[in-house]
Structure 1
Amino acid sequence: MTSMLEIPDLLREYDRARAYTDQLWTDLSADEVRWRPHEKSSAIGWHLGHQAHVAHFMIRNLTAAEPSPAPELDPVMDAANPEPARDRLPDPARLAAFRTGVADRVHARIGAIRDGRVGAPRQLTVVATTLLTALINHEYQHDQWIGEVRSADLGHALPDRPQSDLLTELDGYLVICDL
């Protein structure tokens, strides 16, 4: 059985999801990126770092043992840490650089799998398509919260949601699924 979703299509969707995330936050001030609705809530900046943190750990743990691109951010962006402990956020430029660096590693590693430059390329292709689907869905999962805070709490308009034949909406969330 093969997936109807192919790696090149999924990489484009990953980039589309990340571009939408950027539309949700890059025009915000540093204070807005760090602002928390309440003590038991995370700032937009945490969600941005967490999206990249999860992408790195999934790539690292499922396809290649790579060192963290930002070990100092690992304890801050881990969802296992309770919200009150999520205060040491980097500035927006550092968040952007972290996100870009992780996305570059996702592309490099998945590209190596796509091109067969790995051991067990067919098996890793199955892993890569599943992994990319999860990364895309995770990006949109946090985009939903970022968008809600952006519009309801910070009073900024929302950009148009991305359009793709591979996206659907479930429970108000954009998702990609191979149904």
Structure 2
Amino acid sequence: MKLRQSMAGLHTWGGLLPSWLLFVIIFAGTVACFDKELSRWMRPALHDGVVSSLGADDVRGWLQQNVSDELHAFWMHGPTEREPYWRLGWEVDATKTIHNIAFDPRSAQAEPMPETLGGEFFFKLHYNLHAGDIGMYIVGLAGMFMLVALVSGVIIHRRIFKDFFTLRPKANGQRAWLDAHNLFGVVGFP
């Protein structure tokens, strides 16, 4: 009996405090599933659904003609259904700066690809809260707190599986909320 009572505070505060942060993290992760579409939407020059007629040799030829510095690395991404244009990126040895461009599907002209507040924003918010390595530790710590809240919740609610099938929406307010809490807690547990 004492173990269950001692877990009540841990369950309450270990779940309540990180849950607000985890809401932002999970929401950003959901939106980040559409990162390519959001980034494309934020670049009006690339909105047309025309598929590029350029080939990989054309893109590599543009790189050889226009980038005279010594390259550390370069990468090319061909047109896809989500991004119907060629993307080219490279890093120069001396400066260690990364350059990204996209080729307009109609004119085959290179367009700079600055970072947008589209998909990349939500992707970085999801995994590091735009705070670098410290943010990754905060996200990991919030996840660990939620795991502690889930385990302590199973200990507190000794009849968790019986309560899982009990939903009394017409009961008094607190009982109905507790039933909903048990239901959604067990559904999210796996």
Query: What's the TM-score once normalised by structure 1's chain length?
Result: 0.30
Query: What's the TM-score once normalised by structure 2's chain length?
Result: 0.28
